[in-house]
Chain A
């Protein structure tokens, strides 16, 4: 579904990604872990071109996203993204947050979009918050709305950029539960996270990144149970 070839990204003189090759298959849940500054968020943001790669290519469902001629907006519809800091639209109600993209991008009618929106809000357990503004929500509620917002476009893959890192500990569970549910339904997911327990539980494959390269990738049981690279061992011994 997503194929990444020789992906590099530099900010000025700083080389954040130094050549990444990965293939993500349909229905797969890939978890990316690694220390801060290892480039995992940058890698994720390159997948929908929120960061423009300096070199290499990203191929999504057969189309090269890094090709200048590609209409990136068309493909972003199919790539949902959830951010660490939620980024709900502050000027819109919860329901409008979820329905704005289907209406603006897919040109759905208000009624159609509202139907989809309410269904998704119900699914994340927030239908009673449909008409409040994001500022009235807790962090966990915001993140669940953000997931509903991304799902409203009917994406083929969901990207999660440290979705629980900005949450109070007691709110992490409710967000992970929604993600777990998604994984169970067979959604293709790429998750950058520090939640090792969750990675082990829902991941089909775990990727360990450090200093802009993929050091190790394996099934969760293997990577956590029997890490090969010394850097992976060192990292896991600190976080587990």
Chain B
């Protein structure tokens, strides 16, 4: 095995890593917002909303991400810039998983919290937003952390629609150097370090939040 190619190609890795992080960052933000929205739809007493959320979540969880990427990129032909389509696909996908995590978290919050808020005259929506959801988020942080790590790993699939993220650039390096294996190892190490660091950062955040326990 030889790793001399890194000397010539490290810029490719860096550039790819930058896009991986950018895609994941925006996808995480949008999919959390979308996931919470879907979870609230799912728990809503308005039948149309909960029905929509159930159907959506079932569809997303029952089809491969790769198919969803193609559906959004080619199927919808939204005329979006490629990277926006990529963020959209990731968010559409992860939103469904986050919705289920958030729903479980909301249902785990003691019903008395909602009752106490309502007894003070707060609306259902405000009680959710200010009392129930913040507690739910804290409870589900470990599960959310897992979802973020999955999003980072899922960005690698965006190479199929030509986004020059990390995996795409690894392929380019493999083609240029005629090395089938070694560029992948470097790529894998970069993915691993990223998710490992993220996992620990969230661990720190979690301990901080425990201050209120």
Co-complex (A, B): yes
Given the contacts A87-B113, A90-B212, A50 and B118 also touching, CB distance less than 8 Å? yes
B120 on interface, CB distance cutoff 8 Å: yes
26 contacts between A and B (CB under 8 A): A73-B118, A73-B121, A73-B122, A74-B121, A76-B118, A76-B119, A77-B121, A80-B119, A80-B120, A81-B116, A90-B135, A90-B212, A91-B134, A91-B135, A91-B212, A92-B131, A100-B130, A101-B121, A104-B122, A104-B130, A105-B120, A105-B122, A133-B211, A149-B120, A150-B119, A153-B121
Residues 82-106 (chain A) with a chain B CB within 8 angstroms: 83, 85, 87-92, 100-101, 104-105
Give B contacts to A, CB under 8 Å: 110, 112-113, 115-123, 126, 130-131, 134-135, 138, 211-213
Known contacts A87-B110, A91-B138, then 17 further A-B pairs from the complex at CB < 8 Å, ordered by chain A residue: A50-B115, A73-B118, A73-B122, A74-B121, A76-B119, A76-B121, A77-B120, A77-B121, A79-B119, A80-B120, A81-B116, A89-B116, A91-B131, A104-B122, A135-B213, A149-B116, A149-B120
Contact call B119/A73, Cβ cutoff below 8 A: no
Contact call A89/B112, Cβ cutoff below 8 A: no
How many residues of chain A have a CB within 8 Å of chain B? 28
Most A CB contacts (10 A, CB to CB) among B115, B117, B120, B135 go to B120
Most A CB contacts (10 A, CB to CB) among B116, B122, B212 go to B116
State in angstroms the CA–CA spacing of A118 and B121 once bound together. 21
The residues of A that contact B117 with a CB separation of less than 8 Å are 89, 101
